[in-house]
Amino acid sequence: MKFSTAKMDSISKRPKMKVLRAKSAGFCFGVERAIGIATTCTENGKRRVFTDGPLIHNSQMMELLEKSGVKEIGDYASKTAIDADIKDAKDAMLVIRAHGVSPQRRAYLKSLGLPCKDATCPDVGKIAGTIKIHAIKDYNVVIVGDPKHPEVIGLLGYAKPGKGFVIKNKQDVDNLGQIEGPCCIVSQSTMFPDDFEELAEYFKSRFPDTKIVDTICGATKERQNEVVRLAKNGAQAIIVIGGKHSANTVKLALLVKRTGLACFHIETINELDMDAISKFQVVGVTAGASTPAFLIDEVCNKLESL
């Protein structure tokens, strides 16, 4: 193969790419805990473990888990009946996903007759507890988040019937009818703190008897702060690794775009546009809370070899 001298010169003169890897990139404690619970329940492959919808939002990790005996049944939103799937599986076990489920779904899962282990992230559990306490005191509960996300679907189940609402933006607040009585407004665990605060204040301006409780989890805040730090430390582009349906990963990618940097949201190294990324000298790498370390290593190793 022939190379032009000019091209070879430009390659040899190009400085080595500097890769800044976010310290927080990868599993948060809630995801690590859920994986630990599910894999322990398999008893080294001796026992089948079912999860109601994906245990976590990362397809590559779910594939690996399936190989070790953890199988996803049910649907993404944990709504459909799943008893047909677990027929003749009396030796198996059910594990509740990291995003949690509604109390109604939990009762349904327990009624299936299999031993059931709860892998709900404790931070999601805290949001559920906040909603429960306020529902008992007859508050209306408003969740700032994505109404289609399993975490939000599960959390809404803790509000009193007819007294639970989900809002995503100001238009949703404008579209609400009159709400009688006090309100408590909480957040899905993976929102942007500034957006939550702004929307909660907007809601409060329409419904003054509102208590605002910031329930964004620490892992989300830490990962978002690190994106800002990567930008301050000179990153010209940031690669965000993680599931395209993982709420916290999608938010990280959005944050990168908001900082004005080039953003590459990929699930695996195969999706990375090498020509486009090679144009940058300093590249930041971060990953969602459900992205396994090996996927991040693959990307960093490839970049460092450029």
Judged by the rule CB under 6 A, the positions of this chain that interact with ligand SF4 are 28-31, 98, 121, 123-124, 189-190, 217, 219-220, 248, 289
Closer residue to ligand SF4 in complex, CB, 99/134: 99
Q: Which pairs count as long-range contacts for 30-33, CB under 8 Å and 24+ apart, including other chains?
A: 30/98, 30/121, 30/122, 30/123, 30/124, 30/217, 30/219, 30/289, 31/56, 31/98, 31/121, 31/289, 31/290, 33/98, 33/119, 33/121, 33/122
Considering the complex, what minimum distance in angstroms separates the CB of residue 29 from ligand SF4? 6
Closer residue to ligand SF4 in complex, CB, 114/296: 296
Closer residue to ligand SF4 in complex, CB, 98/141: 98
Considering the complex, what minimum distance in angstroms separates the CB of residue 87 from ligand SF4? 31
Closest residue by Cα to residue 286 from 26, 2, 13? 26
Closer residue to ligand SF4 in complex, CB, 117/206: 117
289: DSSP letter: T
Considering the complex, what minimum distance in angstroms separates the CB of residue 190 from ligand SF4? 6
Closer residue to ligand SF4 in complex, CB, 212/289: 289
Residues 255, 230 contacting (CB under 8 angstroms): no
Considering the complex, what minimum distance in angstroms separates the CB of residue 247 from ligand SF4? 8
Name the token pair of 49. Answer: 């473990």
Considering the complex, what minimum distance in angstroms separates the CB of residue 222 from ligand SF4? 9
Q: Has 43 been annotated as catalytic?
A: no
Closest residue by Cα to residue 235 from 14, 20, 15, 26? 20
- Which single residue is written with the structure tokens 């953890």? 70
Percent helix, strand and coil across the chain, each to the nearest 5: 45, 15, 40
Give the residue at shortest CB distance from ligand SF4.
30
- Between CA 34 and CA 39, with CA 36 as vertex, the angle to 5 degrees is 105
Task: Give the H or E element holding residue 134.
Answer: helix 122-136
Which of 43, 151, 201, 226 is catalytic? The answer is 151
Considering the complex, what minimum distance in angstroms separates the CB of residue 219 from ligand SF4? 4
User: What are the residues whose beta carbons fall under 8 Å from the beta carbon of 166, sequence distance 6 or more?
Assistant: 142, 143, 144, 145, 146, 147, 152, 156, 172
The amino acid present at 180, given as its one-letter code, is: E
Closer residue to ligand SF4 in complex, CB, 123/226: 123
Active-site residue list: 151
